[in-house]
Structure 1
């Protein structure tokens, strides 16, 4: 797989990186409202760094199924104070947004990564913004906004179709001036993917296929509905989001072992432990120093 050395502004490690999620929203699916206050969101981001996060991903708009969009000025009000202060304190900050306007303001405030769940489809200006700033860019597989995306979860061969659509989006943003070396790909677990039809599991089982795109892979499976469905009780009731943290750690360990560049998670410490185990396993122990996996703390990305 492509190495992190190609990615502007981001940490360079041999292991899978850990991206901690800070949702500055009242309605995100797993923790909406907990970090809606900017001060609490900043404290949470710093705590994540202390627990081993390499990157902190700050978002101001929920993308759960059925969510409605918020105005750009409200999204900016939510994320900018958090991005600004975390970056000031040396945190490697990502901004989770589909809007070029928000991405531009966040980059000016110190963000070094734009995490765009729409892969540049929601805002035609996004690719030009990424090209002009030179920041790293997560290009995710996407088929439409949250209010109707699950209606679009129709595939004959989910692995091949997601691969083809990601390849098409990569070509489109490169044609707009984005350097391929800026791009990270994300197969978009949970976005226009049906838990009932096993789409997410098929994508995870074929990470090697996506490696053929030649770019680092981000996996964002934390607390998602396909995990809750897998862990349903005897009556068929899915596990709650927060009761899927152990399953998330399992996904992290397996994704890291199979070469994912980074995992995006809500609970950092156990997932940081999981990537440590995966790296030791992958390396056959050569990553160990004095009996411990060498996992450097997060560094500033400037």
Structure 2
């Protein structure tokens, strides 16, 4: 992993960069390593230090984050970088208490940075560690209620020596061997003391409280293109879903049905099909309307993004799905 420093390099005096550790941990929240790697490379190439990131334009960072999801993380990334530069001279705090005071840094991220970057004996508990602890101790109480117990069990095993290497090892154990399905117990280094392995219950742990079914919401995306190729877009409010991201104008998404709210009077045409997307708490079905707009169009809301600066890749996934659905239909609009 590009943010890791192997033990052999540490012995040679190479220390983990707290900026890269923090960046990776923020990106990895509810996101897989495979999805994060390319984003991490792009961010750290474009903004190699926390000072570079702090000086970046909000819209550039949000555009670079597009597609990774959970966009509040990108806004907190900027807030945190700017606090580190403004209040800590561009150096991340080297204590758990200091890290916890940074914007967007919760107990897990603070513990990960403290442990991995500064080798402090902080307790790092992610989903992989929870699974390892639940199986190691044969804990049948379901998550999320059992999280405090699993954290206590993880703390009891956290060593004073090389806690950063230990934290990464346990997370890797959960990701590669003690996996959610079909754990490879036969090659696990903790097979001997594992209570769930002895009881034959490893595959069914950790147990989780059943989730409620996700509701389905409906909406409309209005994709208007001006004669010169510019697209009518809006930047969503900083707070809320897809906060700070560019998107297509439209009304709120509701379970009651799609509400008509075009940003400008035009010959809007509905495109066949729907853009389908699943968020954490609901499914979304998005109808797509397209229209050719005159060069002097004056919309009620939103702004035009010139053709030479518009990049579909800068859009969040659901907005890109709507664009992909509507783009090919423009040639058929009368």
Alignment TM-score, normalising by the size of structure 2: 0.25
Higher relative contact order (CA 8 A, sep 6+): 1
